[in-house]
Every structure is written in structure tokens, then in C-alpha cells.
């Protein structure tokens, strides 16, 4: 049941992490290689930000790729959720905040990431595609 599902039940525990000094191009390569839409950015062992496909698109649109680093384009101090929070609360944060990915922290330590796609999977779990 969607209303009772927790973030921890549906989040991805497979994290791709980068440092803010990494080139934006290399971060994009790593994201493509892992087929992920967001990476968590760590500086001195602490969560400093999140870099998403949208951030990379903004950099491309600005024509600023050659010297761009992750730190130049990441979202600093992103909203986070805990694994025990309801998935519906994560969805509300995403909708109202206008973003599609949330880092999941347990006691301040990163344990996963939840995406809007993860949430949609739970909502439509009992649905079949048209024609199926």
C-alpha cells in the first residue's frame, strides 16, 4: 500500500558519489555509465550537494563545459529524507521543491537516493500498460 511505504523500502542503495572538483564532463560520463540521473557530491567526507541531469543540461545551455566542475553546477545543501519517512512525504518534498531526486540520510550518513521514478513504480505497481 502506497500510503504506508517507507523511503527505505523503495530507495536505491547503489550510490554514485563524486567530489566537487571533478570535471562536469567526467561526472556526466560516470552517470551515463551507471545509467543514473543524479550523483551525490561529497567534500571532505560530508554531503555537499547533488548533481542531476538538469544541472548538466543548464551547463550545456550556458556553453560552459570545458572548464566546468561539478561544484560549479551542483545544487548545494539539498533537501534530504530519512529511510523511515513515508514515501508520500518524499513525494510531497519533490513536488513542492521542483526536484526529482532526494538523498537519503540515516543519522546524517548517506544510505541511498530516491527518485520520482522510484515513487511512481510504487504507485503503479498494480497497473498494466495499455494493450498488455
Q: Hey, what domains does the chain have and what are their CATH numbers?
A: 2-123 (3.10.580.10)
At residue 38 the predicted structure's pLDDT band, cuts being 50, 70 and 90, is very high
Instruction: List the end-to-end C-alpha distance of the chain, in Å, as a whole number.
Output: 23
The pTM (predicted TM-score) of the whole model is: 0.88
- Cell readout for 122 is 510504487
The DSSP code for 58 is: H
Mean pLDDT on 115-132: 76
Give the closest residue to 24 by CA, choosing from 61, 62, 51.
51
Q: Which of 99, 84, 90 is nearest to 9 (CA)?
A: 84
132 pLDDT above the threshold of 70: no
Query: What confidence tier does 121 reach under pLDDT thresholds 50, 70, 90?
Result: confident
Residue 36 has pLDDT above 70, yes or no: yes
For residue 12, pLDDT over 80 is answered with yes
Computed over its alpha carbons, how large is the radius of gyration of the chain?
16
- Split at pLDDT 50, 70, 90, the class of 130 is low
In the chain, pLDDT over 70 holds for what percent of residues? Answer: 92
Per the prediction, the chain carries an average pLDDT of 91
Amino acid at each position: 500500500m502506497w500510503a504506508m511505504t517507507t523511503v527505505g523500502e523503495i530507495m536505491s542503495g547503489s550510490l554514485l558519489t563524486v567530489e566537487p572538483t571533478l570535471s562536469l564532463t567526467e561526472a556526466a560520463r560516470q552517470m551515463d555509465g551507471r545509467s543514473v540521473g543524479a550523483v551525490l557530491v561529497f567534500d571532505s567526507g560530508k554531503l555537499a550537494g547533488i548533481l542531476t541531469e538538469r544541472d548538466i543540461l543548464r551547463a550545456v545551455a550556458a556553453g560552459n563545459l570545458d572548464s566546468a566542475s561539478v561544484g560549479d553546477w551542483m545544487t548545494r545543501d539539498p533537501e534530504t529524507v530519512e529511510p523511515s519517512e513515508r514515501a508520500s512525504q518524499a513525494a510531497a518534498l519533490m513536488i513542492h521543491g521542483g526536484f526529482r531526486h532526494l538523498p537519503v540520510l540515516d543519522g546524517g550518513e548517506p544510505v541511498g537516493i530516491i527518485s520520482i521514478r522510484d515513487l511512481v513504480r510504487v504507485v503503479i505497481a498494480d497497473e498494466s500498460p495499455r494493450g498488455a
